[in-house]
Structure 1
Amino acid sequence: MRTIEELVSGAPVFSKLTPAQRKQLLELTVERNYRKGEIIILQGTVWPYAMLVIRGLIRANKESPEGRCLSLRSFVIGSVFWGHGLFGEYCTPATLVAYKPTTILRWAAKDLLSIITENNEALWDLCLQLSQRMMEASQTITDIAFSPVASRLARLLVDQFEAERQTHIERKMTLEEMATTIGSTREVVCRLLYRFSDKNMIQVDRSRFILVDREELNKLAEGEIVLTKE
């Protein structure tokens, strides 16, 4: 298990700081703990901080006025979230929720930026991180606008199989969580999973998914094939 010092030293931007600057950063750290399901940042609020996840899992969920929810991104151990309020009176565009018991390290804008702006490499890395976040947001919009739900679900499964490096994976996400991740509904996800099973791409049981035809699942994820209506 990595120490707090190791997590900070290995995190984007912070890794570019000098040892003395990281020591100063650690002295300004505020640690916060959250229960599973607890809201960390509410959509629409100004949050002038950055945080590093040192335990648990956080998801950024975008909520519509009608109550629909889309999971934009996950923050795992070692991930850094740069609050929009760090850079002005900008509202957070999503709600960040702890999906497991979670611990974060938090830094206020005035403390953090005074250190980063003294280090050109760290400042440049921050620019790269924010640019990457914009590109990821653009890709999410593209996927939602132009990719069929079946392709988005197939991509989610492919990513999970690749992450585990196995042909079977535990069902760690509920149907509701899967639906939130791909911008759909629980009912549609359930129906599509069994369509994938009928097409012999995967097998589905109560506790896991089993990969049967990686090539066909990849083709569906990449939009090279589509599921025909039956």
Structure 2
Amino acid sequence: MDDLKNTIASLPIYKGLSKPDLDSLARIASMREYRKGAIIFFEGEYCDGFYVVAKGRVKITKISSKGKEQILYILETGEPFGQLAIYHGDAFPATAQALETSVCLFFPKTPFLELISQRPALPMNMLAFLARRHRELTLQIENIALKEVPERLAEYLLYLCWEQKSLKTVSLPISKEQLAYLLGATPETLSRSLAKLVDDGMIMMDGKDISIIDEESLNDLARSMAM
């Protein structure tokens, strides 16, 4: 129980909660472990609660009518998922899959809704997180509609520089195939785009490690729009 409560207390979405609130959450939560590649839930499946990544990484995807996978998010430790469905509708709007061996906290729907009706401070950080996710998804849709793959790739590499706090070298946190789907591209198109950035002297590659050679040109490319 103490380990569970400490894990919950470490999550950004529950930062600053009182001990009674943490105790209440710990009483309804449980830990679930998933092997690499395991499906946590499918799109359209009944939503019986929501999850928070306690360890590992999880991808959220949708499948088109033609069977093409589109990665919406790659979730890291501390990030919740499936929470929107507990407020609106009975089904998960996308599929969640473990990218590596992962541990998730699970909060069942009915007990959680009963709890927040009594303790309204509980969901405030989660609502802020939902607003940020909505903004990220809006930007992703705009990028796919308005930018070509090289521009999307340049923007993603600059985002990694910020996330990994490095201006010189970044490491891809996912496979190139997964990155292609995240950017709304085919693996072949992504490979050509990476090769073009290398040929143009903007980056150098060594496996998953990418060195930023010409940050100014990469910034210019990221800001450009398809004509």
Per the normalisation by structure 2, the TM-score is 0.88
Q: Structure 1, residues 46-75: CA drift from partner, whole Å, max 9, x if none? A: 223121211100010111121211111121
Q: Structure 1, residues 85-129: CA drift from partner, whole Å, max 9, x if none? A: 312533222111100100011011111122222223334444333
- 2:188 matches 1:175: no
| 1:196 aligned residue | 197
Is the 2:197–2:203 contact (alpha carbons within 8 Å) kept by the matching residues of 1? yes
SS at match of 1:194: helix
Query: 2:173 and 2:127 mapped to 1: Cα distance?
Result: 34
| 1:154 aligned residue | 154
Q: Percent identity?
A: 24
- 2:164 matches 1:141: no
Query: 1:180 and 1:187 mapped to 2: Cα distance?
Result: 11
- Counterpart amino acid of 1:180? Y
Q: How does 1:92-171 map to 2 (within 5 A)?
A: 92-166=92-166, 167-171=168-172
Query: 1:176 and 1:152 mapped to 2: Cα distance?
Result: 15
| 2:21 aligned residue | 21
Q: How does 1:65-104 map to 2 (within 5 A)?
A: 65-104=65-104
CA shift for structure 1 position 204: 2.0
Is the 1:21–1:115 contact (alpha carbons within 8 Å) kept by the matching residues of 2? no
Is the 2:49–2:82 contact (alpha carbons within 8 Å) kept by the matching residues of 1? yes
Query: 1:152 and 1:6 mapped to 2: Cα distance?
Result: 38
- Counterpart amino acid of 1:220? L
Q: Structure 1, residues 16-68: CA drift from partner, whole Å, max 9, x if none? A: 54211211211222211101011111112122312121110001011112121
- Counterpart amino acid of 1:193? L
Query: 1:82 and 1:57 mapped to 2: Cα distance?
Result: 15
Per the normalisation by structure 1, the TM-score is 0.87
| 2:61 aligned residue | 61
CA spacing shift, 1:162–1:137, aligned 2, 3 Å = closer
| 1:209 aligned residue | 210
- Counterpart amino acid of 1:177? Q
Is the 1:31–1:106 contact (alpha carbons within 8 Å) kept by the matching residues of 2? yes
CA spacing shift, 1:127–1:222, aligned 2, 3 Å = same
Is the 2:82–2:92 contact (alpha carbons within 8 Å) kept by the matching residues of 1? no
- Counterpart amino acid of 1:174? S
Is the 2:85–2:93 contact (alpha carbons within 8 Å) kept by the matching residues of 1? no
Is the 1:34–1:98 contact (alpha carbons within 8 Å) kept by the matching residues of 2? yes
Q: List gaps (5 residues or longer) in structure 2.
A: none
Is the 1:48–1:83 contact (alpha carbons within 8 Å) kept by the matching residues of 2? no
| 2:36 aligned residue | 36
| 2:45 aligned residue | 45
Moved more, 15-24 or 179-188: 15-24
Query: 1:88 and 1:198 mapped to 2: Cα distance?
Result: 48
